[in-house]
Amino acid sequence: MYLTIENILLVGSVLLLISIIAGKTSYRFGVPTLLLFLAIGMLAGSDGLGGIHFDNPQMAQFIGIVSLNFILFSGGLDTDWNVVKPVYAQGLVLSTLGVFLTALTLGTFVWYITDFTLYESLLLGAIVSSTDAAAVFSILRSKSLALKANLRPTLELESGSNDPMAYVLTIAFLGLVVNPEQSVYSLIPLFFRQMLLGALGGFLFGKLSKYIINRIKLDFEGLYPVLVIALMFITFSATDFVGGNGFLAVYICAVYLGNQDLIHKKTILRMYDGLAWLMQIVLFLTLGLLVYPTRIVPLIGLGLLIAMFLIVVARPVSVFVSLLFFKMKARRRWYISWVGLRGAVPIVFATYPLLAGIEKADMIFNLVFFISLTSIVIQGTTLSTVAQWLHVALPEKAKPKVPTEVSLADHPRTFMREIVITPDSLAVGKKIVDLGFPKTAIIAMIKRGEKYITPSGATELEAQDILIVLSDTQAGINKVYETLQIRDLIP
């Protein structure tokens, strides 16, 4: 079967439905959901039962780039800077030096055991050098795996921020394969331009996006997530246009926005959570359709050898060397090494050699696919078990409880105050989102004259408004008075 405009929606929706239903029960058998999505795509492909012919690396790459934007942006929005701040140095080193060392170590090994040239070997190493954000976010959060110390934020920060480094290395070594006479030293300015412009673009577009989101007045709440999607793609494409790393810009922009007060922030977060899952399913299905399993079978021996070297040698070496100057127990370093999940990102990056038309492009793609598949099967299914073995998992009774709407309803905030906005208050005429309202308190209702208003971030406060404020503690109420600049009325 060939995909056409007429049948693509039917085929796509059926595969999507099958993936969702199958994913609902996959963890009962210890199978990562993403592996299931990939398997369904392979079964539906040319060599599978579905017989769907899809051999378009360019389209797969486009779908991959779009999907990675959503996955990285969603991961960034969910990143709490207060949690990440103590480990940002470790995460930064792992996502840069760690990725480089992994590419170098694995590339040297591939060069030694195959007939690949040095640059082709390093290209393969670069493609699989980063941990996959989709795989790490999905598996850690789906398993609700609670880890000791700051292991979880370290792992999520690394996986969310190391794709840009792998992308730079992939493009750089691909350029050397295509033009062997090019100097290796030409990679240095490329690296700094990509990373510096990417970081700067992410921060600047983050500040601009916050200003636009909070200042623009849209008639419908549902348009705000659409606005954020537009800003996300502008951040990626504009940064990429000036020579920066678009993936890094998108992630930094999302981290910044996720830690700011935004209008309809809860709506935006919920929508992106759903879109991230949709994009993960679409991405893995697409890559499953693209691969031909019969072409992978002859490479199983070599692929398994490379995959095991990556898991057992290259990844641990890069982690231990990268974290050499940080105080951390050995068993925690070993666990970080084990959570070196490869997934969709390396497969997307493997389409670049295909489109460049280099001699061993097909072999590299099939090896990368097999390595990613092996990583998800071996590492993805054993994260909980290895965490128990290494004693880095929290006991069930010690797991932190995540507050939900239901639990908040069962345990209402105990302190309530009616606060009158005086005419001389600096809060008059300001939107709630601009006040820097403490996170330990909420405005449940606003009484304005004879009317009661349900507030949102876009609500502007007026003189004589009466705020019904709820907080967990008296200190939270006091912070509200300070925020509203009504210090002389603090009880």
What pLDDT digit, counting tens, does each position of 15-69 carry? 778 777 766 655 554 456 767 777 788 888 777 777 777 778 888 889 989 998 9
In which band, very low, low, confident or very high, does the pLDDT at 2 lie, cut at 50, 70 and 90? Answer: low
CA-nearest of 117, 125, 120 to 174 is 120
Give the C-alpha separation, 210 to 287, whole Å. Answer: 34
Among 172-181, 267-276, 368-377, 442-451, the range scoring the smallest mean pLDDT is 442-451
Strand partners, 453: 446
In which band, very low, low, confident or very high, does the pLDDT at 363 lie, cut at 50, 70 and 90? Answer: very high
The span from the first CA to the last CA of the chain, in angstroms, equals 73
CATH label, 8-398, candidates 1.20.1530.20, 2.60.120.10, 3.40.50.2020, 1.10.8.60: 1.20.1530.20
CA-nearest of 383, 364, 317 to 144 is 383
Answer with the residue of higher pLDDT: 481 or 96: 96
Q: Which residues contact 115 (CB under 8 A, 6 or more apart)?
A: none
Give the C-alpha separation, 115 to 113, whole Å. Answer: 7
- Other CB atoms closer than 10 Å to residue 36's CB: what's the count? 21
What pLDDT digit, counting tens, does each position of 142-184 carry? 555 667 667 888 887 888 788 888 998 999 999 999 888 887 7
- Output DSSP code: residue 448: E
Residue type, 199: A
Answer with the residue of higher pLDDT: 359 or 23: 359
Residue 84 has what pLDDT? 83
Q: Is the pLDDT confidence value at 408 over 50?
A: no
Q: Is the pLDDT confidence value at 396 over 70?
A: no
Residue 274 has what pLDDT? 86
- Consecutive H or E run containing 446: strand 441-448
Residue type, 408: L
Residue 4 has what pLDDT? 63
Residue type, 64: G
Answer with the residue of higher pLDDT: 114 or 180: 114
Residue 198 has what pLDDT? 92
Q: What is the DSSP string of 57-74?
A: HHHHHHHHHHHHHHHHHH
Q: What is the DSSP string of 331-376?
A: HHHHHHHHT----HHHHHHTHHHHHHT-TTHHHHHHHHHHHHHHHI
- Consecutive H or E run containing 419: strand 415-420
CATH of domain 406-489: 3.30.70.1450
Q: Please, what is the average pLDDT of the chain?
A: 82
**Domain boundaries, given as residue ranges, for the chain:** 8-398, 406-489
- Other CB atoms closer than 10 Å to residue 78's CB: what's the count? 18
Residue type, 484: L
Among 120-124, 142-146, 197-201, 406-410, the range scoring the smallest mean pLDDT is 406-410
Q: How far is CA 104 from CA 35, 356, 359, 415, in A?
A: 27, 22, 21, 58
Percent of the chain with pLDDT over 90: 28
CA-nearest of 85, 372, 29, 76 to 249 is 76
Among 25-39, 259-273, 394-408, the range scoring the smallest mean pLDDT is 394-408
Among 317-331, 392-406, 415-429, the range scoring the smallest mean pLDDT is 392-406
CA-nearest of 61, 69, 66, 91 to 250 is 69
* Mean pLDDT for the stretch of residues 267-279: 87
* Mean pLDDT for the stretch of residues 458-465: 80
Residue 413 has what pLDDT? 46
CA-nearest of 246, 140, 250, 160 to 206 is 250
- Output DSSP code: residue 411: S
Q: Is the pLDDT confidence value at 120 over 90?
A: yes
Residue 257 has what pLDDT? 93
- Other CB atoms closer than 10 Å to residue 310's CB: what's the count? 25
In degrees rounded to 5, what are phi and psi of residue 292?
Answer: -110, 105
Among 86-100, 140-154, 184-198, 240-254, the range scoring the smallest mean pLDDT is 140-154
Tell me the Cα Rg of the chain. 25
What pLDDT digit, counting tens, does each position of 276-306 carry? 888 888 888 888 888 888 888 899 999 999 9
Q: Are 286 and 63 in contact (CB under 8 A)?
A: yes
Kindly report the pTM of this predicted structure: 0.79
Give the C-alpha separation, 74 to 105, whole Å. Answer: 31
Burial track 203-216 (b if 16+ CB lie within 10 A, e otherwise): ebbbeebbeebbee
Give the C-alpha separation, 116 to 132, whole Å. Answer: 25
- Other CB atoms closer than 10 Å to residue 177's CB: what's the count? 23
Q: Is the pLDDT confidence value at 107 over 80?
A: yes
Give the C-alpha separation, 447 to 430, whole Å. Answer: 16
Q: Is the pLDDT confidence value at 220 over 90?
A: no
Give the C-alpha separation, 114 to 55, whole Å. Answer: 27
For residue 283 the two structure tokens come to 């991405």
Q: Is the pLDDT confidence value at 402 over 50?
A: no
Residue 146 has what pLDDT? 66
Give the C-alpha separation, 341 to 330, whole Å. Answer: 19
In which band, very low, low, confident or very high, does the pLDDT at 407 lie, cut at 50, 70 and 90? Answer: very low
Strand partners, 470: 416, 442
Among 102-106, 111-115, 227-231, 345-349, the range scoring the smallest mean pLDDT is 345-349
Burial of 167 (0-12, 13-18, 19+ CB in 10 A): buried
In which band, very low, low, confident or very high, does the pLDDT at 255 lie, cut at 50, 70 and 90? Answer: very high
Q: Which residues contact 249 (CB under 8 A, 6 or more apart)?
A: 198, 199, 201, 202, 205, 235, 236, 239
Q: Are 421 and 464 in contact (CB under 8 A)?
A: yes
